[in-house]
Amino acid sequence: MTRIHLIRHGETAWNAEGRIQGHADNALNELGRSQALGLRQALAHLAPVRVYASTSLRARETAELAFGHLGVEFVPVESLREIYLADWEGFLYKEIEQTHPEDVHAFRHEPHRFNYPGAETFAQLQARGLLALEEIIARERGGDVVVVSHGAMIRTLLSHYLDRPLSRLWEPPRMHNCAHSILEVRPDGPPRVVQYADLTQGFGAGE
C-alpha cells in the first residue's frame, strides 16, 4: 500500500493580506515557516520514500523546512502549481470583489461555473493535477510519499477521489495552511481518502 500525504504550503504575506496568489511566486512569512517546522515535528514518525512539491517557492520552502533534514529525493512538479488566475493575481480579493463581482461569486459559490477569461477553470486545474498525481502513484510502489501543493489544487484532487462534484469544492473542512490530507492507494481497489485537512472522519462522498 502507498500512502500519499497531500500537504498545503505554509502561510505567505499574501495569504495574510487576502491577496490573490495563483502562479505568483511568494516566500513563506514568519508564521508560514513556523507552520512548516511544526509540520516537521508532527510528522516526525514518517519516513517518506520521496517528496514531490509544486515548483512554486512557497511549496518548495514548506517541503524543505518540513522534510529537508531526511535526505530523501525531492522532485519538483510544475503541474502541481495552484490555479492560474490571470490578471487577478497580485490584487486583494476585496479589490476584485468590486471590479468583478459576478466572477468572484462564481469562484466562491459556484466553482463549477467559474470561467474568467485567461484564467484556469477548476475542471482544468483538476485535470492537470490528476495527471501529475496519477504519474506519481504509478511510479511509487508502497510506503509513504509526500506531495506539497496548494489549497485549491488539493481540494480538486480530494474531490475526485471522494466522487464529489466541483460544485461542492469549498465545503468544509477548511484547507488551512500546512493542512495534511492522506490518500491510500491499494492494489485491490481505487485510491481512498482517509484524512482530509487533518480530519480522519466527518467527510466523504455520502455526507
CATH of the domain at 13: 3.40.50.1240
Element (H, E) at 9: none
For residue 173, whether the previous peptide bond is cis, meaning omega lies within 30 degrees of 0, is yes
- Residue 119 carries which side chain, given as an amino acid letter? A
pTM: 0.96
Q: For the chain, how many structural domains are there in total?
A: 1
Checking if the pLDDT of 30 tops 80, the result is yes
Question: Which residues are identified as catalytic?
Answer: 9, 82
Range of the domain at 153: 2-84+122-195
- Cell 487576502 belongs to residue: 18
Q: Is residue 114 included in any domain, yes or no?
A: no
Q: Is residue 200 included in any domain, yes or no?
A: no
Q: Is residue 145 included in any domain, yes or no?
A: yes
Q: Is residue 43 included in any domain, yes or no?
A: yes
Q: Is residue 178 included in any domain, yes or no?
A: yes
In this structure, what C-alpha cell is assigned to residue 174? Answer: 477548511
% the chain with pLDDT above 90: 94
Q: Is residue 26 included in any domain, yes or no?
A: yes
| pLDDT 10s digits, 42-101 | 999 999 999 999 999 999 999 999 999 999 999 999 999 999 999 999 999 999 999 999
Q: Is residue 100 included in any domain, yes or no?
A: no
The pLDDT, as a whole number, for residue 202 is 74
Residue 114 to residue 107: CA distance in whole angstroms: 5
Sign, Cα dihedral of 194, 155, 149, 65 = negative
Question: 195 to each of 12, 117, 182, 198, 204, how far by Cα in Å?
Answer: 24, 34, 5, 6, 10
The pLDDT, as a whole number, for residue 70 is 96
Q: Is residue 165 included in any domain, yes or no?
A: yes
| pLDDT 10s digits, 119-154 | 999 999 999 999 999 999 999 989 999 999 999 999
**By C-alpha distance, which of 168, 153, 174 is closest to 82?**
153
